[in-house]
Amino acid sequence: MKKLFLIFALILTACTFQTKHRGYVFSDDLESKIASIKTTAQLQDEIGDPQTRTIYGDEVWIYYSADENMHGPFPVTYDNKTVLLAWVKGGKVIKTQVLHDEDLKDVNLASGETEIPAAIELNALEELFNNIGRFSPAGLGQ
């Protein structure tokens, strides 16, 4: 009976549910809030600095928000995803767009690794001997 109780307790603790918020915390009235924003200073005051900015093409400030759900041993899932895109030119906000879960496509990542052309694969012994003489003794300052 004690073993059965211990197994049940372990299974129960592995099935905990936890939600962590990732990114910005947007209010429910985000669309109405950003409708009146005309400058980047107003955007930064209202929402903050963007998580990223585009480097090619039109300058777009990108803000992202999502809830990360953890269900014990099961894979992590994300919901309530929201992306705010703000097109910026010369300190002025030209256009804004808010994307929610239904607007965003699911991206499936491929399993495995990308091979690097001309990469040298060394085993542990080769790595060890490859590093001999590469480092100066401690305390010499070189």
Whether residue 84 contacts residue 63, with contact meaning beta carbons closer than 8 Å, is answered with: yes
Kindly list the distances between the CA atom of residue 35 and the CA atoms of 12, 48, 85, 113, 126, in Å, as whole numbers in the listed order: 47, 16, 13, 43, 61
Quickly count: other Cβ atoms within 10 Å of residue 62's Cβ.
Answer: 13
Q: What is the pLDDT of residues 4-44, one digit of tens each?
A: 877 777 666 666 778 888 888 888 888 888 888 899 999 89
Q: pTM of the prediction?
A: 0.61
| Distance (Å, whole) CA 70 – CA 77 | 7
Q: What is the pLDDT of residues 39-79, one digit of tens each?
A: 999 989 888 899 999 988 889 999 998 888 887 777 888 88
Question: What are the two backbone dihedrals, phi and then psi, of residue 19, each rounded to the nearest 5 degrees?
Answer: -120, 130
